[in-house]
């Protein structure tokens, strides 16, 4: 029997596993494969060039799922930008296409969350109740998680220092962060950053999480849209093969350690440091996209979490999800055997 948690109950999914929203990766082939496997797939809105393109991606994802009951959502990450994307336009497109699950992250999400929760599609009368929408909000501190809880999100995604992308500036690892979340939050939360296998899922559940969010692990699957050579590079890698860039700019991001990211760090560490303008060409998104398209792992910056050290194969999404859930179940059953009755007392037998 699959592991059932508050997450699976709320979202109506079979397994307590969420695919992270990843730029250039969270596209219909992957989101549909994850959804069809019984986990929660995730389309990345800003991978699409416009809200109308997102509409088409949503329709394609549904076609790929077919008559199955797979669930997927849309990730909208709010980026610091002088000319921000049309976030409301992307959200509106998703809502009008019937999307009910959203993942938000980044800068203050309150206006976007309120829009998602209250928007009435064309033809929806004022007398009708607004359809139920579910918002998963990703954050890297308990303080921000509490703020998200007040904003009315349904589930929080707690992102530890191990994650790909932006871990914040406090450098708090997942074990402490998740345990703190358990003592502070009153709504369900999932664990993100460093999760790639059944052992990780079992650990997350023991720390109070209702499931896990995985990005890097889903990059390395058959249905992932990135080049096969990048998948093979992930399999070859260890937990030492990531690096933090933008530390001196207080916009830390964990990415794969390659020629480009190493050069960025070198420039940041030189006397006088570096401004973003000095790094702009190196970190351009178009170069990162080229990595996934050509298989040249040194072509640009690309995100990877330290979970690369746990990835040893390239399975289908279905095989991966089923194995993670099954392995976690076996581990939990095994841990139950550590507790033995000793007369009227309970003794814990440590197996070191």
Residue 66: per-residue pLDDT = 86
Quick count: other Cβ atoms within 10 Å of Cβ 133? Answer: 19
Quick count: other Cβ atoms within 10 Å of Cβ 111? Answer: 12
Q: Per-residue pLDDT for 81 more than 90?
A: no
Q: Which residues contact 214 (CB under 8 A, 6 or more apart)?
A: 17, 18, 19, 20, 192, 195, 196, 307
Q: Per-residue pLDDT for 348 more than 60?
A: no
Lowest mean pLDDT among 162-166, 294-298, 335-339: 335-339
Quick count: other Cβ atoms within 10 Å of Cβ 305? Answer: 32
Helix, strand or coil for residue 110? Answer: helix
Residue showing tokens 């392995």: 327
Q: Which residues contact 319 (CB under 8 A, 6 or more apart)?
A: none
Confidence of residue 83 (pLDDT cuts 50, 70, 90): confident
To the question of domain 6-224 being in CATH 3.40.50.10800, the answer is no
pLDDT per residue as tens digits for the range 145-182: 999 999 999 999 999 999 999 999 999 999 999 999 99
Q: What does the alpha-carbon distance between residue 260 and residue 242 come to, in Å, rounded to a whole number? A: 12
pLDDT per residue as tens digits for the range 13-56: 999 999 999 999 999 999 999 999 999 999 999 999 999 999 99
Q: What does the alpha-carbon distance between residue 247 and residue 268 come to, in Å, rounded to a whole number? A: 8
Q: What does the alpha-carbon distance between residue 129 and residue 214 come to, in Å, rounded to a whole number? A: 34
Q: Per-residue pLDDT for 347 more than 60?
A: no
Residues 279, 248 contacting (CB under 8 angstroms): no
% of the chain beyond a pLDDT of 90: 88
Q: Per-residue pLDDT for 295 more than 70?
A: yes
Residues 132, 154 contacting (CB under 8 angstroms): no
How much is the average pLDDT of 317-321?
98
Of residues 67 and 32, more confidently modeled? 32
- Domain spans in the chain, listed from the N-terminal domain onward: 6-224, 242-294
How much is the average pLDDT of 106-125?
89
Mean pLDDT of the chain: 94
> What are 346's strand-pairing partners?
341
Using CA atoms, how far residue 293 sits from 148, 225, 255, 287, 290, in Å, is 36, 9, 17, 10, 5
Residue 352: per-residue pLDDT = 45
Q: Per-residue pLDDT for 256 more than 60?
A: yes
């Amino acid at each position: 029997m699959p592991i059932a948690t508050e997450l699976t109950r709320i979202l109506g999914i079979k397994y307590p596993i969420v695919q992270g929203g990843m730029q250039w990766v969270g596209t219909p082939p992957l989101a549909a494969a994850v959804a069809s496997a019984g986990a929660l797939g995730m389309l990345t809105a800003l991978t699409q060039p416009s809200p109308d393109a997102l509409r088409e991606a949503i329709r394609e994802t549904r076609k790929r799922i077919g008559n199955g009951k797979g669930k997927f959502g849309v990730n909208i990450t709010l980026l610091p930008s002088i000319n921000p994307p049309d976030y409301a336009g992307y959200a509106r497109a998703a809502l009008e296409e019937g999307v009910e699950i959203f993942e938000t992250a980044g800068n203050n999400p309150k206006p976007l969350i309120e829009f998602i929760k209250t928007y009435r599609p064309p033809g929806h009368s004022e007398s009708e109740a607004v359809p139920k929408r579910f918002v998963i909000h990703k954050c890297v501190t308990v303080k921000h998680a509490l703020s998200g809880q007040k904003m009315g999100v349904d589930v929080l995604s707690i992102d530890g220092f191990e994650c790909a992308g932006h871990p914040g500036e406090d450098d708090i690892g997942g074990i402490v962060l998740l345990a703190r979340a358990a003592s502070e939050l009153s709504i369900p939360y999932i664990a993100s950053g460093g999760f790639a296998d059944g052992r990780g899922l079992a650990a997350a559940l023991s720390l109070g999480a209702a499931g896990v969010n995985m990005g890097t692990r889903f990059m390395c699957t058959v249905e992932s849209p990135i080049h096969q050579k990048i998948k093979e590079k992930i399999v070859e890698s260890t937990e030492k093969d990531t690096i933090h860039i933008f530390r001196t700019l207080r916009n830390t991001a964990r990415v794969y350690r390659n020629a480009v990211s190493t050069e960025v760090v070198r420039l940041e560490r030189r006397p006088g440091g570096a401004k973003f303008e000095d790094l702009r060409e190196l970190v351009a998104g178009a170069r990162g996209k080229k990595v996934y398209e050509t298989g040249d792992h040194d072509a640009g910056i690309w995100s990877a979490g330290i979970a690369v050290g746990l990835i040893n194969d390239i399975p289908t999404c279905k095989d991966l999800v089923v194995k993670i859930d099954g392995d976690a179940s076996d581990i939990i059953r095994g841990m139950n055997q550590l507790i033995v009755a000793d007369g009227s007392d309970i003794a814990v037998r440590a197996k070191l």
